[in-house]
Chain A
Amino acid sequence: MAYEIKREGKEVFGDFKPELIPDECGGDIDDYEEALHVLMKFVGSMSSALEQVSGRGANAIVYQAGKRMGHEAGKMVEKTDDLEKAMQELSEILGAEFYFDMWKPAGQEGYTIEKGDETVVKLIFRDCVVRQTLRRTGLPQKGPLCYLLYGYTVGAVEEVMDIRGKLDIDHVGPNACLKTLTIKWSGK
């Protein structure tokens, strides 16, 4: 008799035709959790290896990947010139896994600061899958993987507002990260 690999779980059997779209993903929450952790390890490992091979170039590669994703996601929502509306739409694009708010020091009047043809707004990212992944794999924050969210946010804002933008990482922490979004109106 041929050797069979022993597994703990039960194998699922069912009928399937290629033309049928399954009406549910299947699996229970533990399966998703396990898959998420495996993905976190893979992505963390890829980021680390990328940095090892490409050095500082890794940030640019990951940024570009994020930016492309952001532009694609930004196409799904309505275009606007209104920064507050854009932030609302950005929160829908980024979803619950990138829960962010606009942030200002207590002494500052509004969230936005006008600097010539630029508008600056500080964003605080409270929930972030990238941070989760980095902590899962024991990698430092502010590395290449953080540039994925950087690119994603910039790409989405550029697409929604049809302008040029940049995002600077001000501070990273285990519970929240502060970033500065700069919108360049002349880049329209």
Chain B
Amino acid sequence: MVEIEIDENACVGCGSCVDDCPNDVYEMDEAKNKTKVVNADDCMACLSCHEICPAEAMEHKNIHVAKRLYIDRKVNDVLNKII
């Protein structure tokens, strides 16, 4: 069962996740001008919302995390030394 948490302090209320989600998992809370999760059962964990959210305000728990073979470990090693 997917759990989605929205960091209300971070959410800027742009509604990008509401527009982007193919399964209408999110809705705008007009009173707070923040996103709220209304349909977590239909979330397929595509994480398009993560990619589009400018504030990185959401977290998905208990999902299949796809392999990330594209991450270049050599580049990451260099970055880790700098950051």
The yes or no answer to B42 lying at the interface (CB within 8 A) is: yes
New A-B contacts (15) at CB < 8 Å, excluding given A128-B66, A175-B65, A176-B64: A36-B69, A99-B64, A105-B23, A106-B39, A106-B42, A127-B66, A127-B67, A132-B70, A133-B70, A170-B22, A173-B48, A174-B47, A175-B50, A178-B22, A178-B46
User: In the complex, how many residues of chain A place their beta carbon closer than 8 angstroms to a beta carbon of chain B?
Assistant: 28
Interface SS majority for chain B = loop
What are 24 pairs between A and B in contact, CB < 8 Å?
A40-B69, A97-B67, A103-B44, A105-B23, A106-B41, A126-B64, A128-B66, A129-B69, A132-B67, A132-B68, A133-B70, A135-B70, A171-B48, A172-B46, A172-B48, A173-B51, A174-B47, A174-B48, A174-B50, A174-B66, A175-B64, A176-B45, A176-B47, A177-B46
| Distance (whole angstroms) from the CB of A105 to the closest CB of chain B | 5
The 3 lowest CB-CB distance pairs between A and B, nearest first, are: A173-B46, A106-B41, A136-B70
CA distance A170 to B22 in the complex (A): 8
Report yes or no: A175 in contact with B70, Cβ–Cβ below 8 A.
no
CA distance A176 to B42 in the complex (A): 14
User: In the complex, how many residues of chain B place their beta carbon closer than 8 angstroms to a beta carbon of chain A?
Assistant: 22
Report yes or no: A175 in contact with B46, Cβ–Cβ below 8 A.
yes
- Give residues in A with beta carbon < 8 Å to B: 33, 36-37, 40, 97, 99, 103, 105-106, 124, 126-129, 131-133, 135-136, 170-178
